[in-house]
Amino acid sequence: MSRNYLIFNIIWLIIQRLIEVNCEIKPQRRIHHSATYINNKLYILGGQDIDETDVDGVDNKTLILYGGRSFQTNVNMNLVYMFDTESESWKTTAENYTHKRSLSGLINSNGKMYLFGGRFDYGRIVNDILIFDTVNTSWRNVTDSSAPAPRINYGAVLLPNQTIIYLGGMNANNGSYSLREVYLYDTNNDHWDVKLSTGSIPSNRHGFSAVLGLNGQQIIIFGGRNEKLNEFDPSNSLYTLNINSLQWNIPNVSGKIPKSRHNHKANVFRKYMVISFGTNYDQKDESDILLLDINDNNKFKWTSLKHNNNKLEILLIIGSIIVIIVTVASIGIYKYKKRKETQYEIDVDRVPLDDLSFLGN
């Protein structure tokens, strides 16, 4: 009994593990999605024709979803949504002050979300800033003659001093802006400034990703497209910008360099720049998720998810189940034969020795 119980439990545990591996959720390939890192989890929303922007709240547990365009009705969303990552529940807030898409939202340390530029549902591109107070759920609009030209699909990074850097982007004629001009928005004083960068300045682009490096002193950008809507060569897709000197550099990189992507998203997780989805790559050759090790500021390293581990694990689990089933079946057959042999011996022993009629004449 104890042996059978042990075997049963082993089989049950292995089957549970097999179900767990097979039930992992893998999002479909997408572009124009949003990705936000909160408490060791990467939340990916929307994609393709849904251009919402999302950021994590000041409490680092609330996901705030703004704007976008409904795939079903082809019009902009009318509400701001908040997702509590602890209770895993959605709620809506006050109606939008105005609704736009194809922009990036960033929240400063005071819980205010800044939404620069973007496009209305009828196509007009603007250059104002919507400011949403996530604590009091109130809106205000900032227009300034010193603001950058209207644009969408730009790069935006919040610096440690609560200044937002805006880079590149696309204009109304599908042209790409230069990254030589670096636009700075002081969230403490609601003030715009513009500076010129130097060094190995990237070519004009939009649809790229931008993150703050681990040392808080450089911005890392990846991918994008030019004004002809062409992707970049891998050697022209990765750059760093020193936020103090505003000097661009092409970093030293090792590992298998991936193809350039556009309309993807990037987040920083531990020592990695995590790049999710986008387009201009073959899923047979590259993972949907790319990892760039940025721990060493002087040398980055491309690595990849071990996406074949699950397949190998599944094969090992299936093999283990087959071995156990064969073993259990063999033991069962052996016990069955032994039981039949014992039963036969008992039946023979029960026949009286003086009664030999069962042998016939």
The answer to whether residue 53 is domain-embedded is no
Q: Give 33's pLDDT tier (boundaries 50, 70, 90).
A: low
Pairwise CA distance, residues 83 & 186, whole Å: 28
Helix (H, G, I), strand (E, B), or coil: what is residue 159?
Answer: coil
List beta partners, residue 102. Answer: none
> How far is Cα 139 from Cα 112, in angstroms, rounded to an integer?
10
For residue 88, what pLDDT band results from cuts at 50, 70 and 90?
Answer: confident
Q: Which residues have CB under 8 Å from 9's CB, separation 6+?
A: none
Overall domain count for the chain: 1
Q: Which residue has the higher pLDDT, 286 or 220?
A: 220
Residue 238 lies in a domain: no
- Does residue 56 fall inside a structural domain? no
User: Per the domain annotation, does 326 fall within a domain?
Assistant: yes
Kindly state the average pLDDT of the residues 336-343. 61
In a domain, 277, yes or no: no
pTM exceeds cut of 0.75: no
At residue 276, does pLDDT exceed 50?
Answer: yes
Closest CA to 106 of 211, 192, 182, 177: 211
Assess if residue 115 is contained within a domain.
no
Place 341 in a pLDDT band, splitting at 50, 70 and 90: low
Tell me the average pLDDT across 122-147. Answer: 89
Confidence of residue 268 (pLDDT cuts 50, 70, 90): very high
* Percentage of the chain lying above the pLDDT 70 cut: 63
60 dihedral zone (left: phi>0; alpha: psi -120 to 50; beta): left
- Which domain, by its residues, includes 11? 2-20+310-349
Say how many Å lie between the first and final Cα of the chain, rounded.
Answer: 47
Cβ pair 57, 108 in contact under 8 A: no
Element (H, E) at 35: strand 34-38
Q: Does 52 fall in a domain? A: no
13 in any annotated domain:
yes
Mean pLDDT of 291-313: 76
More confident residue, 271 or 89: 271
